[in-house]
Amino acid sequence: MNVSSPPPRRRSGFLRGVLALLLIVVGVLALWTWFSLGWAYSDGERAGMLQKFSRKGYLCKTEEGEIALYLVPGVAPKIWEFSVRDRKVGAQLDQAVGSWVQLHYTEHLGIPSSCFADTRYFVDRVTVSGQSPYSGAPPASAPPTPAAPAAPAPAGPGASPATR
């Protein structure tokens, strides 16, 4: 009797290849995520009226906000949306809704998932001034001042009977 060894298993080689490919894809995705969140394409400052700040998301809760950028008084503002990753900055913005704010942000391109943010702009510092830089505009949190009562019309010879 001739006893022969079983033929080599090809399946295990195929599974190893698929597993190696899967590990490479996960590794590249992890490196891309680390790179896109760690490297800032640009940074800068924006100022405007903080209109909205909220926590959004079904699975991944993110903090998102928007400010109204008033370029010229009397013209409709441009809305700028941003995200916040720092809870301390988020708490400051929660208290500043309706106020004039100056925000420092960094822009991150190519973020792979909305679990990190809905926008590519991450705010990391906030300065609340409370007052619009346009002259004569009251602070957003100040109550409106009551109007002065109108002076009574003078009663004279040509006045109607209702005003006498």
Amino acid 51: pLDDT: 94
Residue 132 neighbours by CB distance under 10 Å: 18
Task: Note the Cα 148 to chain centre separation in Å.
Answer: 41
42-56 and 78-84 beta bridge pairing: unpaired
What digits encode the pLDDT tens for the residues 47-68? 999 999 999 988 888 999 999 9
Which range is most confident: 54-58, 101-105, 144-148? 101-105
Coil vs helix vs strand at 47: strand
Q: What is the mean pLDDT of residues 99-111?
A: 91
Q: Rounded to 5, what percent of the chain is helix, strand, coil?
A: 25, 30, 45
Which region among 90-104, 113-127, 149-163 has the lowest average model confidence (pLDDT)? 149-163
Report which of 132, 60, 45, 124 is spatially closest to residue 92, judged by C-alpha positions: 124
pTM, two decimal places: 0.64
The pLDDT value recorded for residue 70 is: 85
CATH number listed for the domain at residues 40-128: 2.40.50.860
The pLDDT value given to residue 1? 58
Q: For the chain, what are the domain ranges?
A: 40-128
